[in-house]
Amino acid sequence: MINISLPDGSVRSFDKPVSGADIAASIGPGLAKAALALRVDGKMKDLAHVVDRDAKIGIVTSRDPEALELLRHDAAHVLAQAVQELYPGTQITFGPATEDGFYYDFVREQPFSPEDFAKIEQRMAEIVDRDLPITREIWDRAKIKDYFLKHGESFKAQWADELPKDEEISVYKQGDWLDMCLGPHLPSTGKLGKAFKLTKVSGAYWRGDANNAQLQRVYGTVFFSDKDLKAYLHRIEEAEKRDHRRLGPEMGLFHQQEDAAGMVYWHPKGWTLWRTLENYLRRKLEAGGYVEVKTPQLNDRRLWEKSGHWSNFRENMYLSENEEGLKEFVDDPARRMFALKPMNCPCHIQIFNQGLRSYRELPLRMAEMGSCHRFEPSGALHGILRVRAFTQDDAHIFCEGSQIEAETIRFCQLLESIYKDLGFPDYFVKFSDRPPTRIGSDAIWDQAEGALKSASKAAGVDLILNPGEGAFYGPKLEFVLRDAIGRDWQCGTLQVDFMLPERLGASYVAEDGSRKVPVMLHRAIFGSFERMIGVLIEHYAGRFPLWLAPTQAVVATIVNDADSYAQEVAAKLRAAGMRVDLDLRNEKINYKVREHSLAHVPLILAVGRRDMEGKTVAVRRLGSEKQEVLELGAAVTKLSEEARPPF
């Protein structure tokens, strides 16, 4: 007998091996119809997979979170089949599911264009209508290589030849079309449905190497319903409108250029926005009991070797050597190297190590607006959201083990208050445990992971497991913001580190007089100023709340006779702490209003002869056609109060 344990705790027994489809049918016809795949002891399998032993089984339907990835993987295969039917001679390479959809890479002499999408989508819909069974077969290496070579698929043949010799090669067929794939897949093409859309085409390289053949990558997305597809396409349209790479330069905040790839040229308005955020954060940190420090950007490699960064992070570090460095280490050739810091933690430990520390000083919360550099691959760069030169809103909390819980609670409360002030009340938290490449023993990792989980529970934080994504020195929490159109942005982090302080010789005198190594909590709230500003631009579509806006108000004249009064209005607003521009140009007021509205200025104060005589201003708010006429003194009081930062 084979005993099948179901998610509800019930057990079904079968007297012979049984497929996932048969298990679903034994439960009920509704489930049999809705079934898409099988989960066997936590692993996804095709619905046709035969279970021949006792196991925990789950039937995957469209309601399951992992079902969407399954759907997207199938859509990639249907796309590839459609392209090869329409354009004979096109070679296929790889086609995975992605976070928002799927893509497939093709080899074809004639380039694809968006104009081809309607034709390809129509053929994909025809393949869905055929409801072709999707079946899995195991082929030996010689057979599959011979098949692909006979069909002109040199890239697939090469890939088959490079797979490990002991690896089982599975092939998935849908009708006469097939592809090498690990699976799993849907039972038939008809299960895919028609809520799919091809979105763009771009260039790619075979195996991701620019030295290899160039490919064409066709992207698409797919959902279980037209409603979800339309919502996604609307979100993409909104995202394009909000793209910080366009809005930032248009608003005069920053620009980027190839002379400093992955770095940012901040313009006056952008730097004003930066300083507003920095001043706000500094006030919050001071109130939270932090001390602020500043550390060198360039450190000798010996520090990075001791910390473990040299062996675990070197490929992402900018290295430097010069004549002075060579002279310093003339007797030690291995030491002729410096590195720009990729993170601040080893430098903060150097400050902690100055003098004898006592348990009475702990917890010591050490913050830095630290300028860091990391050599990110060019393909990973994305505006100011992913850069090579960035400023972390970094801090390290040196504490005793017994203080981890209280400090975690304190940090989570601080982070939540800041996110709410910035307009992000909705966020979730991932727990990232030990990565494959790391320092320290499993026993230390067990201790660190246990401490962070326990502290998170005490802080009331619900965790989503993010396996293998911790830092090389400790597990971490990742705080993920959700923006105005439902996109997720990973920003804040909290890491428990039992290792770096010991590696770098940190210690304190405990209450019993012994010397102990402090625990170090690495934490950030923005992640980096660059990333947070990019997220804010897209979240607000450039229409910042009044306290954040680089230019909070423009005083614009209706007639030139009012120039002196406009200057008086601007001076009073500035004296009240507001950031104000003057527009005295000899242009019509409607033109000025339109121009400043396009620049997303929150307040436009129009003044003319009547306002000058009555000491009033006409206030127009961004996005409103109405205007409010206020006495000047009342306007200054009201608007400056609205513009006050939330601290």
At 99-143, the pLDDT tens digits run 889 999 999 999 999 999 999 999 999 999 999 999 999 998 889
DSSP letters spanning 555-579:
EEESSGGGHHHHHHHHHHHHHTT--
Tell whether the model's pLDDT for residue 323 goes beyond 60: no
Q: What is the pLDDT of residue 355?
A: 93
Q: What is the pLDDT of residue 331?
A: 52
Asked whether the beta carbons of 502 and 517 are under 8 A apart, the reply is yes
Tell whether the model's pLDDT for residue 336 goes beyond 70: no
Confidence of residue 210 (pLDDT cuts 50, 70, 90): confident
Q: Is 396 annotated as a binding residue?
A: yes
Confidence of residue 322 (pLDDT cuts 50, 70, 90): low
Burial category of 73 from C-beta neighbours within 10 Å (exposed 0-12, middle 13-18, buried 19 and up): buried
pLDDT in tens, 26-75: 999 999 999 999 999 989 999 999 999 999 999 999 999 889 999 999 99
Q: Give the distance, in angstroms, between the CA of residue 521 and the centroid of all CA atoms in the same chain.
A: 22
Whether 476 is catalytic is: yes
Q: What is the pLDDT of residue 334?
A: 54
Long-range pairs for 617-620: beta carbons < 8 A, 24 or more residues apart: 617/555, 617/569, 620/593
**Active-site entry in 197, 348, 438, 476:** 476
- φ, ψ for residue 24 (rounded to 5)? -60, -40
Whether 447 is catalytic is: no
| 298: its two tokens | 């360039």
Q: Which of 220-234, 334-348, 401-415 has the lowest mean pLDDT?
A: 334-348
**Active-site entry in 81, 392, 403, 552:** 392
Domains (ranges, CATH) in the chain?
2-60 (3.10.20.30), 67-234 (3.30.980.10), 258-290+342-540 (3.30.930.10), 298-340 (no CATH), 553-642 (3.40.50.800)
User: What's the rounded mean pLDDT across residues 166-174?
Assistant: 90
Query: Which residues does 22 contact at the CB level (< 8 Å), separation at least 6?
Result: none
Tell whether the model's pLDDT for residue 542 goes beyond 80: yes
Say how many C-beta atoms besides its own lie within 10 A of residue 11's C-beta: 10
Half-sphere exposure of 104 (CA within 13 A, CB side): 24
**Active-site entry in 91, 242, 269, 345:** 345
Residue the block writes with tokens 């499993």: 442
Q: What is the pLDDT of residue 77?
A: 97
Say how many C-beta atoms besides its own lie within 10 A of residue 398's C-beta: 25
User: What's the rounded mean pLDDT across residues 290-313?
Assistant: 92
**Active-site entry in 105, 393, 394, 483:** 394
Whether 396 is catalytic is: yes
Q: What is the pLDDT of residue 428?
A: 95
**Active-site entry in 301, 396, 523, 539:** 396
How many residues belong to the chain? 647
Tell whether the model's pLDDT for residue 570 goes beyond 70: yes
Q: What is the pLDDT of residue 586?
A: 93
Say how many C-beta atoms besides its own lie within 10 A of residue 82's C-beta: 23
Tell whether the model's pLDDT for residue 328 goes beyond 70: no
pTM: 0.82
Tell whether the model's pLDDT for residue 332 goes beyond 70: no
Burial category of 591 from C-beta neighbours within 10 Å (exposed 0-12, middle 13-18, buried 19 and up): exposed
Tell whether the model's pLDDT for residue 329 goes beyond 80: no
Whether 217 is catalytic is: no
Whether 73 is catalytic is: no
Give the containing element (helix H, strand E) for 602: none
Q: What is the pLDDT of residue 324?
A: 54
Tell whether the model's pLDDT for residue 321 goes beyond 60: yes
Whether 241 is catalytic is: no
Rounded (10°) angle between helices 226-242 and 529-540? 120
**Active-site entry in 39, 45, 197, 522:** 522
User: Order of strands, edge to edge, in the sheet holding 627-631?
Assistant: 580-583, 553-557, 603-607, 616-621, 627-631
User: What's the rounded mean pLDDT across residues 403-427?
Assistant: 96
Asked whether the beta carbons of 475 and 434 are under 8 A apart, the reply is yes
Query: Which residues does 609 contact at the CB level (< 8 Å), separation at least 6?
Result: 558, 559, 561, 562
Mean pLDDT over each residue of the chain, to the nearest integer: 93
Whether 394 is catalytic is: yes
| 393: its two tokens | 């809103």
Q: What is the pLDDT of residue 335?
A: 56
Tell whether the model's pLDDT for residue 208 goes beyond 90: no
User: Order of strands, edge to edge, in the sheet holding 319-320?
Assistant: 298-300, 338-340, 319-320
Instruction: Report the candidate in 445, 447, 452, 465 with the shortest Cα–Cα distance to residue 42.
Output: 465
